[in-house]
Amino acid sequence: MLRSQFCAAKPAVCVLVIAMAQVAAQEDGEKTTALRDLLSRIDLDELMKKDEPPFTFPQTLEEFEYAFNEHGQLRHTKTGEHFIFNAREDLHRWNQKRYEALGEIVTQYVYELLEKKCNMTRAIIPVDATADEPSSFIYLSPNALSNPSKLLVLIQGSGVVRAGQWARRLIINQDLDSGTQVPFITRAMEEGFSVIVLNPNENHLEVEKSSKSSTSSTTEHFDEPVEKKERKDDKEGKKRREFYEKYRNPQKEMETERIPIRMNHRETEVRNKVCAVALTDSAHSMWLQDTGKSTQDWLQQHCCNWVSSSEPLDTPLDSMLTDCPRVSAGTERHELTSWMSFESIFRFFGEVMEAKEDEEIEETSNIVTTRSSSLKSKHLEL
């Protein structure tokens, strides 16, 4: 009896649950619509920045109250402490912008080191650039274009680093020796090299895109086709997503376009003049670039890549790719690979240069021997 009454009641319970779900779904839909209308009237950019301090920072190290000590370490001039990224809690954007502002000052500081400590001069490229043409610059040692035998060309990795830098993080948090190219330049000059410091991350001019006036009306037209409304919703959603992306990545504050700086590509000519290439944890790819087999074979014979690894320094490492030999840099930190492999790189260059000199001596000896034999034959004929 109870079972029959319970079974009879089941459909009513089921219907009640379904009805409640339908009501809840309807209410959720109304809430979603109301929330969407509210968000459309809120300036998210201004809302997120409401409690954020202005992005106004010191223009010099002195104003930042930081200085490099005798060991090349960045320290606070009053407390002696190292640089603190989280100067203000829960203000990641502000802290990031402060770090970037300090980074720009560090870039200028390294330029001064190249000019004053390393006695290098800045050269504008392209050399024939017109007054209204985008241009960049590199640094040259006094005899960089006249030394007939030994020239060292330094090229940093991609990112925010500029001429003379390996890693901004190391310069700010560790020291100038590990983070800049100055020790490489000094050592190279001591060994009779001329030096060119390239600046590949400044090979374009970045300008702000011109703003386009919006033609959308603030009045909603309810008789618009569904497809048109969906496109409008997608555009608004994209705008919100772009804002949140900009918030997560404070460096991307505005829409910009890049105007490339004119460069030359002379693969064969450069390859014939270069006797050795040292890479440090390079992320290059011979297959993504249009590189011929001759260049790939050349890299196998003249190149070595010191990569981040837990193995001891100079330990040969297996590679799935066959572009060039790889050895351990003796560190697992990518940004430290150049500094940790410093001695090994110059030893590698020394061995290559010695082999080249021996080869040239042997070639000269063969020429002299050939000439002597030729003269002897002529003498016998006479």
How far is the C-alpha of 263 from the C-alpha of 203, rounded, in Å? 8
Burial class (CB in 10 A: 0-12, 13-18, 19+), 314: middle
Statement: residue 376 has pLDDT above 60: no
The predicted-structure confidence for 174-199, as pLDDT tens digits, reads as follows 999 999 999 999 999 999 999 999 99
- Greater confidence (277 vs 209) lies with 277
pLDDT of the residue at 54: 83
The predicted-structure confidence for 81-105, as pLDDT tens digits, reads as follows 999 999 888 888 899 999 999 999 9
What token pair was written down for 22?
Answer: 């339908």
pLDDT of the residue at 105: 97
- What band does 19 get if pLDDT is binned at 50, 70 and 90? very low
Phi, psi (deg, nearest 5) at residue 264: -105, 150
Statement: residue 231 has pLDDT above 60: no
What token pair was written down for 253?
Answer: 């504050």
Q: Which of 356, 287, 352, 277 is nearest to 320 (CA)?
A: 287
- Residue 365 CA neighbour count, 13 Å, CB half: 6
- Greater confidence (289 vs 221) lies with 289
Residue 159 gets the label, from left (phi > 0), alpha (psi -120 to 50) or beta, of left
Per-residue exposure over 194-217, b if at least 16 CB sit within 10 Å of its own CB, e if not:
bbbbbbebeeeeeeeeeeeeeeee
pLDDT of the residue at 339: 97
- Greater confidence (261 vs 125) lies with 125
Q: Which of 64-78, 232-246, 322-336 has the highest mean pLDDT?
A: 64-78
pLDDT of the residue at 283: 81
The predicted-structure confidence for 24-55, as pLDDT tens digits, reads as follows 555 566 667 776 666 665 555 555 555 677 88
Q: How many CB atoms lie within 10 A of CB 138?
A: 20
Q: How many CB atoms lie within 10 A of CB 118?
A: 18
pLDDT of the residue at 214: 40
Residue 60 makes CB contacts below 8 A (sequence gap 6+) with 105
Statement: residue 126 has pLDDT above 60: yes
pLDDT of the residue at 327: 95
Lowest mean pLDDT among 227-236, 305-314, 325-334: 227-236
The SS3 assignment for 94 reads helix
- What band does 215 get if pLDDT is binned at 50, 70 and 90? very low
Q: Between β-strands 204-208 and 194-197, what pairing exists: parallel, antiparallel or unpaired?
A: unpaired
101 contacts 57 by C-beta, under 8 angstroms: yes
Residues 299-323: what's their mean pLDDT?
Answer: 89
Which residue's structure tokens are 């274009």?
145
Q: How high is the mean pLDDT of the chain?
A: 78
Q: Which of 111, 105, 116 is nearest to 164 (CA)?
A: 111
Residues 370-380: what's their mean pLDDT?
Answer: 50
